[in-house]
Chain A
Amino acid sequence: MKNYETIILNNLEISPGYWRMRILAPGFAAAAAPGQFVMLRPEQALPTMLRRPFGIFRTGCLPPECAGLPPREYMEILYKIVGQGTKIMSELHAGDRVELLGPLGRGFAINDTDCAKLLVGGGIGLVPLFLLAEELIRRGHRVRLLMGGRTRDDILAVTEFERLGVETYVSTDDGSLGEEGFVTRVLERKLAKYPCAEVYACGPMPMLAAVEAICGECNVPLQVSLESHMACGVGACLGCVVKGTGHSDQRPNYLCTCKEGPVFSADQLDWGRVVNPGGGCLEGGCR
């Protein structure tokens, strides 16, 4: 973990409302584990603006521009414009200065079992899954990505996963790309197919709750990456907690998203009474 005062290498709109920012970050790639995040702040934002948390999408290295120049290591984020901070970020250009804190938090636990590895992403929730896919493939696993979004505009970077060798299955709520319907439908079908599976998911809370209901019913190990409002990102302010298993007013069990997460095993969390919005009954049953 390091505090970088660095520059943007480029910042491009990749789909309506979604941007990709490449940031110069020497030494970052070696430190970053799949599922970790950064706290980012443009230097030209109001001096009082808090840093915003973003997942680490990719890391890489630019070849030396001319002989003698050291290679330039970078990290990339993908972000969706939702408010003031992300709006300001989208107005930045190559060479603009940013402050970057990271890599932070606890990422995905990788199990080298023979079980099918299913990655489930909803919209911008795709972000932490790329480094995970890269690592799983490096370890010789076959990886399948189930990617869902409201429309085709919310389906991001799928070709990059395909170039890694990931089998991808796209679904959209309106059918504008891939299969029509929720990504959880695809998940149910896949789970019915493999004798043994592990699921890694990131996306909006209703999607995660549905994935949890399905995996719970099928006894499939699930890890989820959560979002929470954060101030410090390092476990100091305790502003970012989520409810853990068995939480009650009498016996509270709060987990710190920035330090104990953002990736949690589903059985660490209190899922409340959220029922499977996808229906509750599995299409095809659990294998």
Chain B
Amino acid sequence: MSVKRPNLAVNIAGIQLRNPVMPASGTFGYGEEYAAFFDLKRLGAIITKGLSLNAKAGNPMPRIAETTSGMLNAIGLQNVGIDAFVAKKAPYYRGLDTPVIANFFGNTLDEYGEVARRLADVPEVTGLELNISCPNVKQGGIVFGTDPRAAAEVVSLVRKQNDKPLIVKLSPNVTDITVIARAVEEAGADAISCINTLTGMAIDIRTRKPKIANRTGGLSGPAIRPVAVRMVHQVVQAVKVPVIGIGGIMTASDALEFLIAGARAVQVGTANFVDPTAMLSIIDGIESFLVEEGLEDVNQVIGSLTT
């Protein structure tokens, strides 16, 4: 009897992924930083650091603090800016044979639209991931992703500027994530990824100062995983578009929780810092799980939750 390797490939909004595992934006640089550790061809996709219209210098230091089973970060979305990305970073992806998803954001509605427009004709970019966890500086700093109307407005504008597959990344810092999920689906999102970091804070009791200069930061890592699994579960129930699960994934079993909850793929963030080859172990572990369970296709696991 020949042993057939199970199928790991999944499809997200027309993007064919060889397996359902990809890095989370901001934890993998532009990809090249990790090329020394493994062949980037092993990944389902590459997701870039968040890009904006102009280069962004980011927040003062300290920017990161370790917390119990996780970390806080307030990097401040430091990035090279869209034009430098297209000119200097994108050529690196040529011939890589792994889909590249450009994560991006704006400080105003117009900026979102302009970045989307400039990414439209970049052949190295397969799809977009729209980060709506940013404050709208023109409207008192209200975060686009916490208001269903503002979120829908950004998505439909981006949709008009760029017809590459569009993944919208949701903020968990909301009362009901399904409201936002439905709003962005209606506005034209092809897929949804969730969750971004949860706003948190940590204090140094000796100096009485916040542990990061920005005072608050985004909490990531295993500490947020149960919250993320719950939100992915809720979003999967609420929308028809595919969902990508993110939050505290360190191992294959963590990733499988998201897939069983209904996520079609997963992103791995903080775990890359603990172990730069974490994603490879996760991919191999998912395959072993399928073999153990006698399954031929990862799609048989997706949404297999029984309640």
Contact = CB atoms under 8 A, between A and B. Distances in A.
Interface of A: 1-3, 41, 46-51, 99, 101, 228-243, 252-254
Contact of A232 (B58, B61, B222, B272): B272
B112 interface: no
A112 to B, nearest CB: 30
21 contacts: A3-B277, A50-B71, A50-B273, A50-B274, A229-B63, A231-B64, A231-B273, A232-B27, A234-B33, A234-B34, A236-B29, A236-B34, A237-B75, A238-B58, A238-B78, A239-B63, A241-B78, A243-B61, A252-B57, A254-B58, A254-B78
Given A3-B37, A3-B277, A46-B69, A237 B58 contact: no
B14 interface: no
Contacts of A232: 27, 33, 272-273, 276
Interface of B is mostly: loop
Interface in B92-130: none
B274 A239 contact: no
Contacts of B57: 252-254
A1 to B, nearest CB: 5
Interface string B217-234: 000011100000000000
Interface in B18-37: 26-29, 33-34, 36-37
A238 B75 contact: yes
Nearest to A228: B61
B33 A235 contact: yes
Tell me the dominant secondary structure on chain A's binding face: loop
A252 B55 CA distance: 11
Interface of B: 26-29, 33-34, 36-37, 49, 57-58, 61-66, 69-71, 73, 75, 78, 221-223, 250, 270, 272-277
B64 A237 contact: yes
A236 B274 contact: no
Given A3-B276, A236-B33, A229 B62 contact: yes
A229 B64 contact: yes
A47 B250 contact: yes
Contact of A239 (B34, B70, B73): B73
A80 to B, nearest CB: 17
A254 B221 CA distance: 26
Contacts of A51: 273-274
Contacts of A47: 250, 274
Most A CB atoms within 10 A — which of B49, B57, B65? B57
B64 A99 contact: no
Nearest to B55: A252
A238 B26 CA distance: 8
A137 B274 CA distance: 37
Contacts of B70: 48
B28 A236 contact: yes
A234 B276 contact: yes
A211 to B, nearest CB: 21
A237 B274 contact: no
